[in-house]
């Protein structure tokens, strides 16, 4: 069967739709997400995400894209010219693969006795949210709860920053009241990460069911999220004026301290 010619017109309906889907409003209106990049698409497929359409540009294929593309032959595929793909891409150096899928509706798993859940409130930078998702996955966290209308956890930039971990880790968007009720009903120990807490994070008990609460760098957590079982801080070299860390870095430190304490409890 003759392969259809690549789409070359920047006014093509598929191209115009993909450009619109760069915005959160359009993605939410259609109920779809846009996944760009070979690694991210491969992880989505491996995690059971129901990819619906694949857009390719073989001229732009990276070595990884050239390996991943043949594994996706069951999907409807539309080939784009280089100019058309670069028009719809959100990347400076695209690798020639982009896919659409329905917006995931992840249900939080019932937590085990040593579950770690990360709660993100108000984070607006996709890079930070994606980096935290990637770190939470690597550190063995069980779930991430995103509160309210911060960065879209399934936006293309979060997906990219997470390197696809958003698909391998349960991620739920919840309102604050529902999240607090969910955590309380399951007897989570809540740990607020805040720079003015007197207790350092390595001195807090982080075993059992733990929910790590993280807010924005400039505002932190509001009072109703700081009224928790524990508040912890990360000590800094204040003599040189350091008084804060990037929230993704702070999350990494506390998440791996959780992992360390759990390992020590199993292998004292």
pTM over 0.85: yes
Are residue 56 and residue 129 in the same domain, yes or no?
no
Are residue 77 and residue 32 in the same domain, yes or no?
yes
CATH code, 63: 3.30.1330.30
Question: Domain boundary at 102, 133, 161, which?
Answer: 102
Are residue 152 and residue 246 in the same domain, yes or no?
yes
Query: Which residues, including other chains, have CB under 8 Å from residue 194's CB and lie 6 or more apart?
Result: 215, 220, 221, 226, 231, 232, 233
Task: Give the number of domains in the chain.
Answer: 2
CATH code, 181: 3.40.1280.10
Q: Report how far residue 144's alpha carbon sits from residue 128's, in angstroms, rounded to the nearest whole number.
A: 13
In a domain, 3, yes or no: no
Q: Are strands 53-56 and 97-102 parallel, antiparallel or unpaired?
A: antiparallel
Query: Which residues, including other chains, have CB under 8 Å from residue 42's CB and lie 6 or more apart?
Result: 68, 71, 164
- All residue ranges of the chain with pLDDT < 70 are 1-2, 238-243, 268
List pLDDT tens digits, range 111-139.
999 999 999 999 999 999 999 999 999 99
Are residue 121 and residue 215 in the same domain, yes or no?
yes
Residue with tokens 């390996």, as numbered in its chain: 67
Are residue 191 and residue 61 in the same domain, yes or no?
no
Check residue 247 and give its pLDDT.
Answer: 93
Question: Domain boundary at 79, 102, 125, which?
Answer: 102
Distance of CA 202 to the CA centre of its chain: 25
Check residue 242 and give its pLDDT.
Answer: 62
Token representation of residue 118: 């990360």
Check residue 148 and give its pLDDT.
Answer: 83
Check residue 241 and give its pLDDT.
Answer: 62
Question: If we measure between CA atoms, which residue out of 168, 197, 39, 167 comes closest to residue 103?
Answer: 167
Q: Which residues pair with 35 in a beta bridge?
A: 99
Q: Which residues pair with 118 in a beta bridge?
A: 144, 212
Question: Domain boundary at 102, 124, 155, which?
Answer: 102
List pLDDT tens digits, range 42-87.
999 999 999 999 999 999 999 999 999 999 999 999 999 999 999 9
Are residue 261 and residue 148 in the same domain, yes or no?
yes
In a domain, 5, yes or no: no
Q: How far is CA 162 from CA 43, 111, 158, 208, 219, in A?
A: 11, 23, 6, 26, 24
Question: If we measure between CA atoms, which residue out of 25, 212, 20 comes closest to residue 116?
Answer: 212
Sheet containing 53-56, strands listed edge to edge, beginning at the edge strand earlier in sequence: 32-36, 97-102, 53-56, 77-79
Which residue range is the domain that position 122 belongs to?
A: 116-266
In a domain, 4, yes or no: no
């Amino acid at each position: 069967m003759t392969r259809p010619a690549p789409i070359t017109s920047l006014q093509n309906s598929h191209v115009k739709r993909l450009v619109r889907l760069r915005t959160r409003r359009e993605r939410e209106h259609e109920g779809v997400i846009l996944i760009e990049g070979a690694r991210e698409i491969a992880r989505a497929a491996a995690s059971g995400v129901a990819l619906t359409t694949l857009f390719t540009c073989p001229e732009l294929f990276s070595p990884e894209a050239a390996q991943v593309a043949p594994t996706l032959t069951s999907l409807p595929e539309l080939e784009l010219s280089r100019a058309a793909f670069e028009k719809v891409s959100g990347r400076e150096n695209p690798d020639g693969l982009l896919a659409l899928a329905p917006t995931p509706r992840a249900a939080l798993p019932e937590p085990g006795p040593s579950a770690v859940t990360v709660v993100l409130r108000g984070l607006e930078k996709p890079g930070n949210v994606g980096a935290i998702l990637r770190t939470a996955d690597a550190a063995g966290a069980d779930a991430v709860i995103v509160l309210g209308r911060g960065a879209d956890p399934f936006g293309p930039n979060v997906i990219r920053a997470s390197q696809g971990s958003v698909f391998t880790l349960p991620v739920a968007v919840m309102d604050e009241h529902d999240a607090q009720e969910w955590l309380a009903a399951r007897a989570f120990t809540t740990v607020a990460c805040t720079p003015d807490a007197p207790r350092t994070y390595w001195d807090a008990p982080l075993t059992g069911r733990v929910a790590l609460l993280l807010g924005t760098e400039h505002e932190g957590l509001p009072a109703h999220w700081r009224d928790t079982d524990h508040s912890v801080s990360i000590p800094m070299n204040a003599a040189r004026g350091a008084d804060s860390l990037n929230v993704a870095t702070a999350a990494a430190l506390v998440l791996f301290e959780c992992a360390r304490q759990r390992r020590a409890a199993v292998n004292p």
